[in-house]
Amino acid sequence: MTGRGYATRVVSACTLPANSWNTAMTSTRSLASRARRPLLAALVFLSSLTGASISANAKAEEPPAVIRFGVSNAGVGNPPRVGTGWNAIAQQRGFIEEEFRNDKTKVEWIFFKGQGPAVNEALTNKQLDFTTLGDLPSIVGRSVGVPARLVLVTGRTNTYLIARTGSGIEKFSDIRGKRIGLHKGTATQLAANRAFQRHKLTERDVKIVNLEPAASLAAFQSGDLDAVFGSNNNLFLVDKGEGKVVYSTREEPTNNGQGHILVHEDFSAKYPETTKRVVKALLKAAHYTSEDVNRAEIIKLWASAGRVTEAHYNWEYQGIPLAWRFSPLFDPYAVARNKQSVEEAFQYKLIRRKFDVDQWIDRRWLNAALKELQLENYWTQFDANGKPVRNTGVGRKPEQLGSNAAATQAR
Q: What percent of the chain has pLDDT over 70?
A: 81
Tell me the pTM: 0.79
The fold adopted by the segment(s) 66-156+258-410 is D-Maltodextrin-Binding Protein; domain 2 (3.40.190)
Task: List phi, psi (to 5°) of 108.
Answer: -105, 110
The end-to-end CA distance of the chain, in Å, is: 5
Q: Give the start-to-end residue ranges of the domains of the chain.
A: 21-58, 66-156+258-410, 160-248
Q: Three-state DSSP class for 335?
A: helix
pLDDT at 119: 96
Average confidence score pLDDT of the chain: 82
Q: Where are the alpha helices (DSSP H) in 223-309?
A: 236-239, 265-270, 272-290, 295-303
CATH architecture observed for domain 160-248: 3-Layer(aba) Sandwich (3.40)
Q: Is 66-156+258-410's fold the same as 160-248's?
A: yes
pLDDT in tens, the chain (411 residues): 444 444 444 222 222 223 322 322 222 223 233 333 333 333 333 333 333 332 343 357 999 999 999 999 888 888 899 999 999 999 999 999 999 999 989 999 999 988 899 999 999 999 999 999 999 999 999 999 999 999 999 988 889 999 999 999 999 999 999 999 998 888 888 889 989 999 999 999 999 999 988 899 999 999 999 999 998 889 999 999 999 999 998 878 778 888 999 999 999 999 999 999 999 999 999 999 999 999 999 999 999 987 789 999 999 888 889 999 999 999 999 999 999 999 999 998 999 999 999 999 999 999 999 999 999 999 999 999 888 887 777 554 443 333 333 333 323
222-252 as b/e: b if 16+ CB within 10 A:
eeebbbbbbbbbbbbbeeeeebbebbbbbeb
